[in-house]
């Protein structure tokens, strides 16, 4: 008789693409949980980067994840670059895009193809301090509290619907580097949580999404 297998079968995972431009620490947190948690609902099918030499690309290759890393300047325009990205996403049946330190504004080419299915994580309590210098801006404003926001991407800069937030106290005299490190710690916990809940629920508007996390 054939050997009968026991135990639960791991459910199929939803293909996602992670976009990153820098160190890739949020990417690494996703790759780690993907390896360690059999119930994790996502499969990183592709890592996209506009910085071919960045650390995020090295992390992806070390994890044997497919990479599309191209300098947008090598294309005729932004639309041409994103059409090339879109072709790679479609080739791998990617269902969700996860922006993780991707320092480019997504154009309608990708936005229209993945409307309501692009997540971003931002190091502030939006709508406060949008843009690429959020941590510096919070310190310069004398904020006593900042935090992390996960939101859907729309046409604006960090203006999409907020899915989850977690506050972090700004200690007196803290440096930008130290505050950023603390925010990264929160990001690495919060982002996988939201990704999991969005993919399991199948909708970013589900009541399962945490709209506000614990405050520190």
Predicted local confidence at residue 202, as pLDDT: 77
Total residues found in the chain within this entry:
216
Long-range contacts of 183-188 (CB under 8 A, 24+ apart): 183/123, 183/135, 183/146, 183/147, 183/148, 184/25, 184/26, 186/147, 186/148, 187/25, 187/26, 187/29, 187/121, 187/123, 187/148, 188/25, 188/26, 188/29
The reported pTM is 0.89
Predicted local confidence at residue 204, as pLDDT: 65
For residues 105 and 78, the answer to whether their CB atoms sit within 8 Å is: no
Predicted local confidence at residue 11, as pLDDT: 64
As annotated, the active-site residues are 122
* Fold assignment, 13-115: Rossmann fold (3.40.50)
For residues 22 and 51, the answer to whether their CB atoms sit within 8 Å is: yes
The low-confidence residues of the chain, meaning pLDDT below 50, are: 1-8, 206-216
For residues 27 and 47, the answer to whether their CB atoms sit within 8 Å is: yes
Indicate if 121-216 has the same CATH topology as 13-115: yes
Predicted local confidence at residue 119, as pLDDT: 98
Query: Domain spans of the chain?
Result: 13-115, 121-216
Class of domain 121-216: alpha beta
Predicted local confidence at residue 6, as pLDDT: 40
């Amino acid at each position: 008789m054939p050997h009968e297998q026991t135990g639960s079968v791991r459910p199929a995972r939803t293909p996602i693409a992670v976009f990153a431009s820098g160190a890739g620490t949020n990417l690494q947190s996703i790759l780690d949980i993907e390896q360690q948690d059999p119930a994790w609902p996502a499969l990183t099918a592709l890592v996209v980067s506009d910085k071919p030499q960045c650390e995020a690309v090295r992390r992806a290759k070390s994890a044997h994840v497919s990479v599309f890393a191209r300098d947008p300047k090598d294309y005729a325009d932004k639309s041409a670059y994103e059409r090339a990205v879109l072709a790679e996403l479609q080739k791998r049946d990617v269902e969700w895009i996860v922006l993780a330190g991707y320092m480019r504004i997504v154009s309608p080419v990708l936005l229209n193809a993945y409307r309501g299915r692009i997540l971003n994580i931002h190091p502030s309590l939006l709508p406060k301090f949008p843009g690429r210098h959020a941590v510096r801006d919070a310190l310069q404003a004398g904020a006593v509290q900042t935090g992390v926001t996960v939101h859907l991407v729309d046409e604006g800069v960090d203006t999409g619907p907020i899915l989850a937030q977690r506050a972090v106290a700004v200690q007196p005299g803290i440096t930008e580097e130290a505050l950023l490190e603390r925010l990264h710690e929160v990001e690495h916990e919060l982002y996988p949580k939201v990704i999991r809940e969005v993919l399991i629920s199948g909708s970013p508007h589900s009541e399962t999404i945490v709209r506000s996390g614990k405050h520190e």
